[in-house]
Amino acid sequence: MIVNIETLQAIPVFSDLSEDELVSMAKGIELAIRAYTNNNFQNRYIRFEAASLSDKCFGSSPFLKVGDTVQISQSNVNDGLYVITEITNDYITLDSELFAVDSNLITKVEYPVDVVQGVINLMKWEVENREKVGIKSETLSRHSVTYYDQDANNTAMGYPVALLGFLKPYMKVRF
């Protein structure tokens, strides 16, 4: 996963959210960032092929550890992101069920520190400001509210463009 749930739970802003809510929010932002940047953040030097059954892939790499995110590709049915929950010499256990397939290409996913910090900032913004989206200014006496335009110049992926500046160096060209 793009950010460690224990790290998030230690931040006061997230104290009212359950672990499931944090996991769901982090996974959603992770997929959105991968789509927005057209970057899968794969470390192609840590890659192997393995058969799968249940929640296990029968193969391993000495460069993987519990909690790492891996991407399965070229399997036709198991493609996606998974988190490693257990590692042995013979297999790795993932956080979701897999279809029985003879060959899955498993690649480690690594996110730079600034992307992880950016995700935490996006999650803070989500919790603190999502219900105020569109409000530019608000006055209490005589109650006045001014809304700003939400167009491609001001927002991207449902977030203010200013919050997404950390992704600029990781953008890849789409062909």
- Write out pLDDT tens, residues 101-115: 999 999 999 999 999
Q: Answer whether residue 150 is part of any domain.
A: yes
CATH number at residue 86: 2.40.30
Q: Residue range 133-140: average pLDDT?
A: 64
Range of the domain at 20: 5-39+111-169
Alpha-carbon span 1 to 175, nearest angstrom: 27
Query: 116 and 71, same structural domain?
Result: no
Q: Answer whether residue 155 is part of any domain.
A: yes
In sequence order, which residues have a C-beta less than 8 Å from that of residue 85 and are 6 or more positions away? 55, 66, 93, 94, 95
Alpha-carbon span 68 to 11, nearest angstrom: 21
pLDDT confidence bin for 163, thresholds 50/70/90: confident
Percentage of residues in the chain having pLDDT higher than 70: 87
Number of domains in the chain: 2
Alpha-carbon span 35 to 47, nearest angstrom: 21
How many other C-beta atoms are found inside a 10 Å radius of the C-beta of residue 71? 18
Q: Answer whether residue 141 is part of any domain.
A: yes
| Residue closest to 78 by CA, chosen among 58, 59, 52, 60 | 52
pLDDT of 146 > 80? The answer is no
Phi, psi of 138 (to 5 degrees): -145, 130
Query: 102 and 52, same structural domain?
Result: yes
